[in-house]
Each structure stands twice: as structure tokens, then as C-alpha cells.
Amino acid sequence: MWRMNPFDTVKNIFEAFEAPSRIFKNREVLRSSYVPDYLPHRQREISLVASILAPALRGETPTNLLIYGKPGTGKTASANFIGRALTSRASDLTSRYIRAFLELNRKLGDSTSGIMEEASGVVGYDELLGEDLMKELRRGVHYIYINCQQVDTGYRLLAHLANHFARDWNERVPISGWSPDTLYGKLLERLDREGGVTVVVLDEVDRLVAKSGDDVLYTLTRINSDLKHSRLSLVGISNDLKFTDMLDGRVKSSLGGEELVFPPYNAHQLRDILNQRAEMGFYPGVLEEGVIPLCAAIAAQEFGDARRALELLKVAGEIAEREGEEKVTEDHVRRAQSRIEEDRVGEVIRTLPNQPKLVLFTILQMKRFGGDRRITSGEVYDNYRFYAERAGMRVLTSRRVSEFISELTLLGLIDSRVISFGRQGRTKVIDVKIPVKRSLTVISDGIFSDVAEIPPRYTYRRAF
């Protein structure tokens, strides 16, 4: 039988996609990272954040701010939207003051300009022109967004900030090797050289603290006392409303500032967001009538996650495009939901720290070998200890493992509920909400590979 050469197969696929898409007008606007010129249903939150950061335009230090909210509630998009507007306005103001200064200098004439230049070399522009004028000329605003899932140590964070102001490659701070004092000194030097106010946004700041502690936060909250010609303000973004419970008292006190919670979107609000993006991203008439309401309804059930809604819409369009369809249907949305769920579970498992990952591994193994037998939290802990010892990992307390079980429940990987057994007391019963075999394949690629085929040590009761 004749078979097409694999190279020709790939070539045909590429050629098919060389033609303009009949589905997407601009798929980039459907990405969660895209920030439109208007954010529906976030005007209140945007106004509050803008009012907190606005003093930067006067060269004053804005109050530190902590923003909370579940994933997909517009925290990052709103912060970047405001950052873009803030730096644009600051640039306009700086240009205005510089033009006024240059015009004044021109009117003074060449001879006077020469005298001013010579005098500035002796006493400096601050004394020559006055502190107020120089403050105006220096009052630019710098906005730096940092994702703490990627920049997750104190050293990397300070190096990233210093490198933001590097003027050429030779000025860049290395990714490791400098002493804390040297790195901090370089950051101070760069900030004062640039002047103005720097607003630093730390997205997923709880991840930074969980991995590396809160020392770097304390350093940044105290940095203004060491700066001479610049100021720095912090905006922390977290999904965890109890984030500050992780902080040392001195850090909490030094951070101070204001707090703002972004509520989840409801189905109506999600439809508005999707309609806005669909108008920019799809050709007219491509989406069947029920597509956007279905995407919104699914995302509303999952804590009002706008990123989830946008991803559903985009993936549904991509499925339709690959299959050569002219319209995106509700069936494409449901298939997109299944595909995204598989990808999401794998990503969540891969990014878990080793200890909660071991707890999940234990539960999956108990489900794999126990079938429909009921799993209790006490039995999970017994088997967790069994696997931890064989994997060469530290054994944590039953209370800590119970906390991990609660976290895994919140992530949607397992289900746990407390059941009373009369005189036998109450216990937490656990069930698995993800595909066992596929999840074990993902989780067993790393340090658990040596124990992947070892059955649980303890037998447990049958389901009731």
C-alpha cells in the first residue's frame, strides 16, 4: 500500500495554514496575557489602584498595596493596564518639564548657558536650579512587573530589578555569585541613577515567600531609607487571602499599605468579556449563538475564571480551524473543555512541591491498588510515611499532611469530606477526582519512579 512521505504530510499541514484563517481575525487578543484598552467590570478596582499609585506622578511614594483574588479575576490584567497608563502619563509630564527647561535655557542665550554649565560642575544642578525644579525633572515613573513563579528567590528578584536599569550588557548583574550586600548596593545605585518612582509588581508573591522566605520583602519595604534620588513602592498580587499569615511580624509591619480583593466574575460578566474579545478575535458569524454563553457558564462554575473562559473560546476555535470547519460550535467548546482539563491536571501536578506531590502520589496509589475501597486520612498518613521512607524523603507530621490534603482538595485534584462513624468517631474520607493512571504517569517521572510499582502497605475498608 502506498503511504505518503512524512515530510510531505508535514508540508501539507503547513501549506494549509499558510492561507488566511477563516476562523480567527486575530487570535492574540484571546490570550489571557493580552491587555485591551478597556477591562469590563473592573472599573471600580482599577480606579482604586490608580488612586493609590497616582502620587508617583508627583514624585511621592505610593502606599504599598496587596491585591487578592482567585485566578482569572483580572488582578494581573488590571495591574498591567494601570502600569501602562501610569508610565504613559509620567512620560508626558516629564517631556513637558524638560521642554520648559530647554526653552528657558534657550532664552537665556549661549553665554548664560555656558555659565550655567560651568556652575553646575561646581555646585551641581540640585543647588543651581533648586531642589523643586530638579525633583520635577527627575520624577519619571518606572513600572516593573515580576512573576514570582519564575523569579522565585531573593537574589533573582534583586538582580532582576537591577538589570531592569542596566544600560548595556556589561552592566547586567549575573544570575548568581554576588554577595547580598554587593547586589543590594548595585540596586541602590541603579535606582538613584534613574531617579523618579519605581513601582514593583510582584505577581504570585506568595510563591516567592513560600520558597525563599520573606527577607527580600523586608529589604524592599525598607529600601527607601537608603535611597537619595528615587523612591520604590510595592504591589503584591496573591491568590491566597491568608498570604500575610506567612509573613514575619516585622515584615508585616514594614509592608503596611492597603489591601484590595478582586471578586470572581459571574456568568453575565464573563459573557461581556468574551463578547469584547470575540469581536476583535473572530470573523463575524463564525461563532454559533450558544458558544459564548457556554464558555461563560463553564468558567463561572469554576470560580469565575476569565482566563479559563478565554482559553475555552480560543481552543474551541483552534479545534474548528484544524478540522476545516467554518463555524465554532458548542461541541467544539465541550471538546476544548476536555482537552484543557487534561493539560491543566498535568501542569498542576508537575508544579506541586515534593511533599504535597508525595501525598497525592500516596492517594493515587491507594486508589490504584485498592479499587473501590474507602480511603481515610489516617490511612493516607500511614502510607505516606511508608512511601516517604522508601523515597528517602523527610516524614512530616500528620497535621501537615492533613493541610496538604486540604490544599489538594482546593486544587480540584481530590475530594475530601468529614464523616461520622458513631462511636468510632469522625474521620476525613478521600476520593480521587482525576484520572488515576494518567496522573501517576505524570507524577512518577521524578523522584517517585523507584516506588511507583510498590503497593500501599496497609489495607483499608471497603466503600460503604
Going along the chain from its start, the domains and CATH numbers come out as: 43-261 (3.40.50.300), 265-348 (1.10.8.60), 352-451 (1.10.10.10)
Say whether pLDDT at 417 is over 80: yes
Confidence of residue 288 (pLDDT cuts 50, 70, 90): very high
pLDDT for res 463? 45
Say whether pLDDT at 17 is over 80: no
Say whether pLDDT at 462 is over 50: no
Say whether pLDDT at 306 is over 80: yes
**Mean pLDDT in residue range 236-244:** 88
pLDDT for res 119? 47
Confidence of residue 165 (pLDDT cuts 50, 70, 90): very high
- Backbone phi and psi for residue 321, each to the nearest 5 degrees, phi listed first: -65, -45
| Cα–Cα distance, 266 to 275 (Å, whole number) | 14
> Which residues contact residue 384 at a Cβ distance below 8 angstroms, ignoring those fewer than 6 apart?
358, 359, 362, 395, 401
**Mean pLDDT in residue range 346-362:** 91
What DSSP line would sit under 198-254, residue for residue? EEEEEETHHHHHHHH-SHHHHHHHTGGGG-SSEEEEEEEEES-TTGGGGS-HHHHHH
pLDDT for res 283? 97
Say whether pLDDT at 15 is over 90: no
Q: Is 462 or 372 the better-scoring residue by pLDDT?
A: 372
Confidence of residue 38 (pLDDT cuts 50, 70, 90): very high
Rg (CA), the chain: 28
Confidence of residue 448 (pLDDT cuts 50, 70, 90): confident
pLDDT for res 222? 95
pLDDT for res 247? 87
Least-confidence region, from 251-255, 266-270, 375-379, 441-445:
441-445
**Mean pLDDT in residue range 416-437:** 80
Confidence of residue 246 (pLDDT cuts 50, 70, 90): confident
pLDDT for res 92? 77
Half-sphere exposure (Cβ direction) of 155: Cα atoms closer than 13 Å: 10
Say whether pLDDT at 223 is over 90: yes
pLDDT for res 123? 47
| Cα–Cα distance, 98 to 106 (Å, whole number) | 12
Exposure of 436 by Cβ count < 10 A (0-12 exposed, 13-18 middle, 19+ buried)? middle
Confidence of residue 191 (pLDDT cuts 50, 70, 90): very high
Say whether pLDDT at 220 is over 60: yes
**Mean pLDDT in residue range 15-26:** 76
- Find the helix or strand (DSSP H, E) in which 71 lies: none
Say whether pLDDT at 440 is over 60: yes
Q: Is 125 or 320 the better-scoring residue by pLDDT?
A: 320
Which of 212-216, 312-316, 426-430 is predicted most confidently? 312-316
pLDDT for res 441? 86
| pTM recorded for the entire structure | 0.71
Say whether pLDDT at 392 is over 50: yes
Least-confidence region, from 151-160, 291-300, 363-372:
363-372
pLDDT for res 102? 55
**Mean pLDDT in residue range 315-322:** 96
pLDDT for res 310? 97
> How many other CB atoms sit within 10 Å of the CB of residue 279?
11
Percent of the chain surpassing pLDDT 90? 58
Q: Is 166 or 103 the better-scoring residue by pLDDT?
A: 166
Confidence of residue 244 (pLDDT cuts 50, 70, 90): confident
pLDDT for res 42? 96
pLDDT for res 1? 46
Average per-residue pLDDT for the chain = 86
Q: Is 127 or 337 the better-scoring residue by pLDDT?
A: 337
